[in-house]
Structure 1
Amino acid sequence: MRAWTLHPSLGWIAGSIIAAIMLVLAIVGPILYHRTGSNTDTSRIAVVRRSLMAIVLAFMVLTPSQVQQVTNKAVSATDVYIAVDVTGSMAVQDAHYGSQETLTRLAAAQKAVNDIVATYPAASFAAIHFGTNATIDLPITPDARAVTNWADNLTTEPTSLSSGSSLDAPIDPLTIAMKERKDQHPNNRIVLYIISDGEQTSAQQRKSFSTLRAYLNTAFTVGVGSSQGGKVPVSDIGFNEQKQGGQWVIDPQTGQPGISKMDERELRNIADETSGTYLPTDSDHTVANGPAAKSSSRYQVQTTQSKHERITAVVWPLALLLLALLVWEMIDWIVSSRRLL
């Protein structure tokens, strides 16, 4: 359904003033011609033509426009934030991920990242690793390949530089990144995955993840490792593959190689703080066959429709009419000039 209206491109104040001047000129011309009578060389047709030109200009300034009802479709996307623990304990080889094969915890985390990316085919992703500190390695991007490449190249934190696992390290950078994203795209869904063995060895008390709830639609903590645990290999450069070293991190209290165990209780607590869900991974459970995959369809793509009016200026017919009158005026002037020679 289309309707006609006036929508001055110069605004109603300036447009109305100019249009009024044009209309006054269109009226004054014939009045002056009538008063002067035969004391002018101007013909009656020329006076009418020039009045028409003024009237056409007045309407052009007022900008006749068509109003059309338009329906817009907006796609509300999903933003998935993935935080992976890279502390030295993630090099422990006691994890299983969908099979009986024993992996390092980091290798299981890498498989989990690949499953997360496959679970949200229409999403954008941001990636962060955390240990002693936390760093956003990959700002929000729709490039899924970049996320999988990032995961494949993750390495554990060198044990020589570690000062204890701190699970709350990613809270601050995640809060800043999510708030900024929420401000820019308030309709987007934000999903958080925290992949860790849940081991907290820092002397400081862990901060709560509850501050992230203001920006999250849902969250998951993914546990990698086992409750039996394993020895932590010593590394000066970190591990990124399923391999063990000949030396182990020594427990200062016992003088024996320390045993790192997955802390499932801590991971469940973090899930509760974010109003999320804890996802265990083992020989039977993966991210791909867990509750996250079942619920992901709600967050992939949501299409919303909104109606608004679109105003389109239609001045070209008036412009053609004005051009024709101007050509007529020029021809009449040429003919009159030759008569005066």
Structure 2
Amino acid sequence: MITLLHPWLLLLLPLPWLVWRFLPPHREEVVAIRTPFFRQLTEATGAAPQAGATVLHRNRVQMIAALLVWTMIVIGLAQPQRLGDPIVIEKSARDVVLALDISGSMDQRDFIGEKGQRVQRLVAVRDVLKTFITERDGDRMALIVFGTRAFVQAPFTEDLQSLEGFLDQTQVGMAGPNTAIGDAIGLAIRMFDSSEVEERLIVLLSDGADTNSRVSPVNAAEIAADKGVVIQTIGVGDPEGAGEDRVDLTALEDIATRTGGAFFYADDSSALSQVYDQIDAMAPRIVEETSYRPTFSLVWVASLLAALLGIATLVALLASRFRRQA
């Protein structure tokens, strides 16, 4: 599709006709010889006397060429352009932070794998989490790991493959042996400070009770709620365990409830997969679409045609003059 950036400039097309129609001809003074016997001279030569001022007239080829050149010039000024096919750009309308507990208790081998074998909690969680990340295509995601302290393992990114790579690098105990759920929530909230989207979600997974946070999980959840951050919590592990090995399901449910999120509990790989499926159904992919059509300027085409027409007309006139002189 071809359009004009400044179509109103086409109003200049009749300008040459208006000049020819309403403005007087151009006048120039030239040197002339005055003879006292002009009448006798014209009678002797048989020439008919004419007015001293003459208006030069162009032939049909010159007129057509001039009109075409002027038309190309005006079209060039109007800036013709070709519109390309629409290009749609999808931009994430939600930021998601995955907060993963990697405290010492995640080393327990009490999860049942796909083949019925017992696997490490963190390994089982990582395998299921990879599938969840893959299905979040279009969301910006970040990864926080926490134990005694909370750390940003991967900042917000739309490159989910790189996020999976950071997830593979996580190991039990690399953030300390204890559990700091409140600090992990606080760190996630600070990450949202640079976010420009309104939809903000934290998916927090833990297998223990908070024992080392400088900010209590309840207070952190209240701050998240004030900032419009929703927290979905997942409890894994043994709710009947002792000390830090006992997952605090009540606290995780309270955190989710305070922020308008949901709480889930999973005790094996299959249940964990179902949990992430439910989260995915509750928080489907949200994107903002921006579309535009690339433009390609065609001004050079009009300019080239005008130049070629002018040169061709000049060559034709010179050739005609040479033929007459010959």
- Report the TM-score when normalising by structure 2: 0.65
Alignment of 1:236-255 (within 5 A): none
Alignment of 1:22-41 (within 5 A): 23=15, 27=19, 32=25
Distance 2:120 2:279 in 1: 28
Q: How many residues align?
A: 296
Distance 2:282 2:132 in 1: 15
User: 2:149 maps to which residue?
Assistant: 133
Distance 2:282 2:321 in 1: 78
- Contact 1:16–1:62 at 8 Å: present in 2 too? yes
Does 2:93 match 1:109? no
Does 2:184 match 1:170? yes
Pairwise CA distance, 1:194: 0.8
Pairwise CA distance, 1:140: 3.4
2:153 partner letter: D
User: 1:82 maps to which residue?
Assistant: 98
Pairwise CA distance, 1:276: 1.2
SS across alignment from 2:144: strand
Pairwise CA distance, 1:296: 1.9
1:229 partner letter: G
Pairwise CA distance, 1:272: 1.6
User: 2:203 maps to which residue?
Assistant: 193
Matched residues, percent identical? 18
SS across alignment from 2:211: coil
1:273 partner letter: R
Alignment of 1:287-302 (within 5 A): 287-290=272-275, 292-294=276-278, 296-297=280-281, 299-301=283-285
Pairwise CA distance, 1:5: 7.2
Distance 1:103 1:112 in 2: 13
1:58 partner letter: V
SS across alignment from 1:82: strand
Pairwise CA distance, 1:200: 1.4
Larger helix share, 1 or 2: 2
Distance 2:214 2:286 in 1: 42
2:6 partner letter: P
User: 1:281 maps to which residue?
Assistant: 266
What stretches of structure 2 of length at least 5 have no aligned partner? 30-51
- Contact 1:109–1:224 at 8 Å: present in 2 too? no
SS across alignment from 1:222: strand
- Contact 1:123–1:300 at 8 Å: present in 2 too? no
1:228 partner letter: E
Pairwise CA distance, 1:190: 4.9
1:340 to 1:314, Cα distance in 2 relative to 1, 3 A: same
1:208 to 1:52, Cα distance in 2 relative to 1, 3 A: same
